[in-house]
Homo-oligomer: A and B are copies of this chain.
Amino acid sequence: MSEQLRKRLFTELDSIRLIDPHSHIDPLTAASKTLADILGYHYYTELCHSAGMPREQIEEPGLDPKEKVRRLVEHIEPLRNTIQYGWFLDLAQALFNFPKGEHLTTANWESLYDSAANRMAQPEWEQQVLDCTKLDAVFLTNNFDDPLQGFDTRRYIPCLRTDDLVFSLHEPTVRDRLQKATGVDVHHGASLVDAIGKLFEHFVVHGARACAISLPPTFAPTPCAAIEVEEALGAVLHGTEAGPRHKDTVARFVFWVLADFCASCKLPFDLMFGVHRAVYRSGVYQGQDLYDSRVSLIQYQELFNAFPQVTFPISVLASVTNQELVSFAWIFPNVVTNGHWWYSNTPTYIEGDAGARLEAVPQSKQIGYYSDMYKLEFALPKFVMYKRILAKILAERFVIDRGWSEEQAVELGRRVLRGNVERIFNVG
């Protein structure tokens, strides 16, 4: 019974039109041009490298896209078990008529490459992908100095990404970009607040619907005393004597200022917890970051208390933190669960993490999934993976274990997949 039930629920969930609340899409080149854009995704390059492919073969300067794909395919056999390779098959089958049951091999890659390139060259390719995925809108991840020009911000919704502001203000290039973007000469706390205010203004005018940041496991934001801020800013802005303590003070200060503007601009503040950057220093591009599971949401208790009017959609990297997230979202009105991020975005972990959320966090406070994609083609297989798992959870834990009707189960799925995205981010 359970398998048929799962299929029926999946079919219903799969008919829902989507808004993708977090991606890294470049709205000016949202869709792929060749399979190299697909297989060049860090999930494939890092897994091929992890399985033995030298980084130099992947990142050779000036490498032709077709040759890059040829090389990756040569090393892709060890990835066949991975869900990431599964995404590729789902995508290729749905978008390029790649035959079911076939693997990507040195024998068949070239014809797939060529036929995909043909489709991608059609002017309506981007629209075809959106239609096929039933995707109405996609949130972006914009640098703070993004002009936000040249695209439809109702389809590609701006989101102010703030990592640089919080953690890299000691870098002259970041300060230069801030100055150019705002026209403000940042030399003390008040002018920094002024500059950040101008960024928010610019983003809100252009339809931004969220502010976002990824956070190292060591960060624990608290309010700063004004005098402490000025001393730290003095050191950091002038690039002299900025030690770890000063940088941490500036980070905490800027973070607090961002939360303040999220409050006044009514923007949710997406927090993504726990990533350590550049752990594997010889890794491929975007394949160097890892995490430390010894992180706790308790580090953010002051923030959640201080900003009751700001909604914090939160993403975590490990199931141990997901259990905390479930509890924090159950207690704090402003804490919302958000998708299944990166190393947690595989079926076994999604199944446990989503199951726990669905039975203990109010249904209005759960954002089911986002793609995190760089190219538009990936929304389809990633959301399909999630919807299959969601159908499984709803079938087993709600219809079978708790006696829900299938309609009720689908309704809960619709809410976490679409309804909450609309309401929480004020879109759609």
Contacts and interface: CB of A to CB of B under 8 A. Distances in A.
A335 to B, nearest CB: 8
A388 B290 CA distance: 32
Interface stretch (A105-113, A146-154, A264-272, A397-405): A397-405
A360 B293 contact: no
A269 B323 CA distance: 27
Contact of A293 (B280, B305, B323): B323
Q: State the copy count for this chain.
A: 3
A324 interface: yes
Secondary structure class of chain A's binding surface, majority of residues: helix
A347 B397 CA distance: 9
B3 A3 contact: no
Interface string A318-350: 111101101111111100000000010011110
B359 A82 contact: yes
Contact of A291 (B1, B49, B324): B324
A275 to B, nearest CB: 11
Interface string A79-104: 11111101000000000000011000
Given A51-B364, A348-B355, A392-B401, 16 more contacts: A46-B331, A50-B361, A50-B362, A51-B365, A52-B333, A78-B363, A79-B362, A81-B358, A280-B304, A280-B331, A282-B305, A290-B327, A319-B323, A320-B320, A330-B343, A347-B397
Interface of A: 1, 3, 46-47, 49-52, 78-84, 86, 100-101, 276, 279-283, 287-294, 296-298, 301, 304-305, 308, 317-321, 323-324, 326-333, 343, 346-349, 352, 355-356, 358-365, 388, 392, 397-398, 400-403, 405, 412
